[in-house]
Structure 1
């Protein structure tokens, strides 16, 4: 049996995204080793029509790991990347595929220093899941991952085959990743207003969002993304169709007074824009405000 037939799986970071993936694997009879900062005897995924209870324990000491794994899902936020380093050292060797379930377009650059000589596989996560308690997550839509068309993607696709979390493999991953980043970037406006998706129904917020998204689109295209002129309107229309109470992970972090993923979701547009000589006047206003909301002082 080859690694892609039935890989050994570990998961680091059983938050909203990590719990969803762990539950999908457990439901299909593929129990992953779960690692995190806090010990839990079980994790619970709630969704319309039912729940999945994933038995623990959640391991908290990387020094207690004795085995290396074929596949490691890393679902920590970008602000917690360095904290995952001891886990990656314990779980990975040269054959390990490290699939990063994290926002942004810089996942390989962020994790390559910590992943030994294993393969770092970026992903795009397409599902709204929110933490309800320390060990409970509410999933609001069917989970889906997008991966680049590289050999390591077959390991992830095999691990998740037949689960409720679908996997799509695409040739033009850069375009998909940047499109998701545009969606995440404009969602950052929720932090600055303290409001949820219903705020996008305001005409002035729609106008601001479209202007910001067009700025982000210019940077995305300079980075090689092939995205049409209609993408900003598509993203705003998606917010218009969303439940008014739909939040986003960066808003949840602000409400809990946690550090924000402002750099990987918004700062990257400003940074990459400057590297290409592209003016980013809206980013130049939004990024310092998001950074201050995250890091203070005050």
Structure 2
């Protein structure tokens, strides 16, 4: 470690990255550096601190950079970018993370493989926390949720590193579980997101509206069934029934617009390739057909292509 200080780099300072950055400053002996290309956000944090509103109310001192070239050597990296920016973010910060344990807290599957191509020790991570950046330097904490971290099997971080990161996150106020196999929590989230987010993105409906429309709910169920067959063949035990997550979303987050819908509304590239595309890829590896997930990938990609002609 960096003397008595644990230095953590946060790559990507959107809602999740900002919440992680802010809470980690509350842990003892942690120095947090945030890297994000949004200059107004970084400047506001540098000058006034990172303000957390909503379920918490505090301001956190965070070091900020718009270019990772200035990042000092770190003990941990937390990748919180969109999946499509993983490689670029890691490439820029690689010099500072060569002796770090690096965890992905991103959506979907496949991010750890990208990270492992650039640094030697990787942590598989999953989160269900929610929030939104409401202004430069301000993040709203909307919904608490647990974090699960464990070794990425082909390029694992050391057990002591995983335990230390979990300890610091818990000290900071983000409930975190260090587990031996983090695939179950990761895929439980992937199955739910892949069953609801593309339908929301394609229709413009909130998660609750998608899940309570009879015709769309049948598609949700079909997507869940396919993903469950993939997980069963791959030997990945889900930590809860995805249908329970659907009912919970209807009760507690009916009006929520998932990030894929937000991307579509802003005409940004979505994360369809690491959600439904990730399920389909795992299905191909294990000989499980995934026509419903293949259809979601084709439809969302087609929608993205339409923006180039309109």
TM-score (structure 2 length as normaliser):
0.85
Inter-CA distance 282–154: structure 2 relative to 1 (3 Å threshold): same
- Decide which of 213, 224, 234 is 1:223's aligned counterpart: 234
Given candidates 76, 93, 102, the residue that maps to 2:106 is 102
Residue 75 of structure 1, CA deviation: 0.8
Aligned in 2, Cα 1:227/1:157: closer, same or farther, shift over 3 Å? closer
Q: Tell me how far 1:25 sits from its aligned partner.
A: 1.5
Distance in structure 2 (CA, Å) of the matches to 1:259 and 1:114:
24
CA distance in 1, matches of 2:138, 2:303: 27
Count of residues in Structure 1 that have an aligned counterpart in Structure 2: 291
**CA deviation map 1:235-283 (0-9, x unaligned):** 3212221232112222212221111000111111122212322222211
Aligned to 2:154: none
Q: Secondary structure at the match of 1:274?
A: helix
**1:84-140 deviation line (CA, Å, top 9, x unaligned):** 0343223212x311111111232321111222x3x1111001112223234432221
- Structure 1 residue 5: deviation in Å? 7.5
User: How far, CA to CA, are the matches of 1:249 and 1:167 in structure 2?
Assistant: 23
Q: Distance in 2 between matches of 1:181 and 1:165?
A: 21
Query: In structure 2, do the counterparts of structure 1 residues 83 and 44 end up closer, same or farther at CA, with 3 Å as the change threshold?
Result: farther
**5+ unaligned residues in a row in structure 2: which ranges?**
152-157
Inter-CA distance 256–55: structure 2 relative to 1 (3 Å threshold): farther
Moved more, 135-144 or 182-191: 135-144
User: Contact between 1:4 and 1:159, CA under 8 Å: does it hold in 2?
Assistant: no
State the secondary structure of the residue aligned to 1:27.
coil
User: Which has the larger displacement, 210-219 or 79-88?
Assistant: 79-88
The aligned residue for residue 126 of structure 1 is: 128
Greater Cα shift, 253-262 or 144-153? 144-153
Contact persistence 1:206–1:236 (CA under 8 A): no
How far does residue 3 in structure 1 lie from its aligned partner after superposition? 6.9
1:152-191 equivalences under 5 Å are: 152-188=161-197, 189-191=199-201
